[in-house]
Amino acid sequence: MGSFLINGQKPLFGSIKVDSAKNSLLPILAGCLLCDGIVKIYDVTYFEDILNMLEILKMLGVKVKKYEHMLILDCTNIQNSIIPIEYANKLRASIFCLGPLLSRLKKAKLAYPGGCSIGARPIDLHLSGLNSLGAKIIDKHGYISAFYDNMKAGEVHFPFPSVGATENLIMASVFLKGKTTLYGVAKEPEIVDLCRFLNKMGANIKGEGSDVIVIYGVSKLKGGEFRPISDRIIAGTYLMLPLVAGGEVEIENIVPSHISSLIFLLKNNSCKLHINGDKLIVSKIGRLSSLGKVETLPYPHFATDLQQPLSAVASFCKGTTIITENMFEGRFKHVPQLIKMGAKINICDSSLVIQGKEELYGAEVEASDLRGCASLVLAGLGANGYTKIKNIEFLDRGYFKLEEKLQKLGADIVRQT
Ligand code: EPZ
């Protein structure tokens, strides 16, 4: 596994462009399985997770043509409905294929999904939702076998606004004759983007972005063109760069409303945030004060994917910051690594009590998940001395050639294989 070597405390200057959203493109790629035609997707960034999802689509019968920032997918001839473990366990998003395969081929057999080790990450809400629409589900030996059986339009009530389960049920409903109503759905921008894509391909979906989504069944989806939204988690991570390293950075291709909870959190703190359309200029004025109490909750509240990066920022702030992780029970694996760098963090149940330090120092640390790795990069950029971050492949799942982008801003960072 490769590593990053960072020599910290180099102020960052310049501009950096946010890529298209990994967590929008992943369900959209699964949604291509519903389209009996050619789909063209622009602004594509080939994160590792995207490459792995494309391997799954190819195995299912999609013809994939990759260009530098564009994908052309021929989804007219989908035959295979089985995703074996060696493909499925590479990423969580493999489970997003369940709904589309059921809709298109009336059956599916998927090995349990993989994904970052940030908790148990069950799929019970996906399965119970499909079941309540009449699908027959057999969950055995680590495989999910699903059969269309007598699926029909109906109602699904989610006890929790699961992003993936919402996406799966939307895609399982697009061809069901009549009206399917999903209650208690997730409202993330990526859900809205998926519905925008499906409607552009001929679906009839209403209510996306609210608590209730209604899908009116159509007979088929055609091909078409699409441009996904920008990645709000990458945008939030970039916004934190000058807060740890100093300097002034202009972030391009940002949707400020998608990270309004982070922007609000930093208001009146010792940093300058200037928003101009899809650009945001951020700089640190002095040492930040405590970030107070932060709770990760479903959108539009503070995103769980930014909890780990924020804990690195909080490690440099004055006073004490308390971050409570309400979404994933195993999302603190980065904490012992930050402590190795001198951070003062106590884990109390599902909260981090972070007593900020004037300075962290470089150390040899190792990543164990995507956003935890991003937190270690932030800590390394702000630390005094050299930090070596091992298992950097985790970062490549959701950030593209990050070291090259940071070098352009003046960071002293190299990738070592
Ligand atoms: C999506 O994961 C994202 N991944 C995650 O981003 C993100 O953290 C998460 O949504 C929350 O915003 C992709 O979109 C590929 P959930 P997902 O279903 O769909 C529990 C990243 O870093 N749950 O909303 O798996 C679950 O265990 C990744 O880019 C059930 O109990 O998230 C968790 O505690 C990490 N049963 C909570 O709900 C289920 O059937 C939220 O999960 C499904 C979920």
CA of 97 to the centre of ligand 1 (A): 15
Q: Whose CA is nearest to atom 32 of ligand 1?
A: 163
Q: Rounded distance, CA 170 to CA 85, Å?
A: 24
Give 366's strand partners.
Answer: 390
Is residue 318 within 8 A of residue 290, CB to CB? The reply is yes
pLDDT of residue 1: 80
Atom of ligand 1 nearest to the CA of 92: 15
Map residue 144 onto helix, strand or coil.
strand
Q: Which of 52, 162, 188, 261 to mutate to test the pocket of ligand 1 (most atoms within 8 A of CB)?
A: 162
Between vectors from CA 90 to CA 308 and to CA 327, what angle results, nearest 5°?
A: 35
Question: Which residue has its alpha carbon closest to ligand 1 atom 42?
Answer: 162
Please name every residue paired with 354 in a beta bridge, in sequence order, or none if there are none: 321, 345
20 DSSP assignment: B
Beta strands in 217-270 (DSSP E): 224-226, 247-252
- Structure confidence at residue 81 (pLDDT): 96
Give the residue from 184, 176, 168 showing the smallest Cα distance to 151.
176
Does a cis peptide bond (omega within 30 degrees of 0) precede residue 300? yes
Element (H, E) at 237: helix 232-239
User: What H or E segment, with its residue span, contains residue 373?
Assistant: helix 370-382
- Beta carbons of 14 and 250 less than 8 angstroms apart: yes
Please identify, by atom number, the ligand 1 atom nearest to the C-alpha of residue 188: 12
Distance 165 CA to ligand 1 centre (A): 9
Closest Cα to atom 10, ligand 1: which residue?
Answer: 163
∠ CA 369-392-405, rounded to 5°: 110
pLDDT of the chain, 417 residues: tens digit per residue: 899 999 999 999 999 999 999 999 999 999 999 999 999 999 999 999 999 999 999 999 999 999 999 999 999 999 899 999 999 999 999 999 999 999 999 999 999 998 888 998 999 999 999 999 999 999 999 999 999 988 999 999 999 999 999 999 999 999 999 999 999 999 999 999 999 999 999 999 999 999 999 999 999 999 999 999 999 999 999 999 999 999 999 999 999 999 999 999 999 999 999 999 999 999 999 999 999 999 999 999 999 999 999 999 999 999 999 999 999 999 999 999 999 999 999 999 999 999 999 999 999 999 999 999 999 999 999 999 999 999 999 999 999 999 999 999 999 999 998
Nearest Cα residue to 157 out of 178, 185, 137: 185
164 CA: nearest ligand 1 atom: 19
Q: Do 27 and 194 form a contact (C-beta atoms < 8 A)? A: yes
**How many Cβ atoms sit within 10 Å of the Cβ of residue 287?**
12
Mutate to test the pocket of ligand 1, among 95, 97, 160, 302 (most ligand atoms within 8 A of CB): 160
Residue 119 CA: which ligand 1 atom is closest? 27
Residue nearest to atom 8 of ligand 1 (CA): 305
Nearest to 381 by CA among 236, 240, 250: 240
Q: Atom 28 in ligand 1: which residue has the minimum CA distance? A: 305
Among this protein's residues, is 116 annotated catalytic?
Answer: yes
Per-residue confidence (pLDDT) for residue 120, from 0 to 100: 86
Q: How many angstroms separate the alpha carbon of residue 307 from the centre of ligand 1?
A: 14
- Of 116, 195, 271, 373, which one is the catalytic site residue? 116
Q: Which two tokens stand for residue 255?
A: 């949707």
Ligand 1 proximal residues by C-beta, below 6 Å: 23, 26, 92-93, 116, 119-126, 160, 162-165, 304-305, 327-328, 370-371, 398
Residue nearest to atom 30 of ligand 1 (CA): 122
DSSP assignment of 268-331 equals TSSEEEEEETTEEEEEE-SSPPP--EEEE-STTSB-GGGHHHHHHHHTTSSSEEEEEE-S-TT-
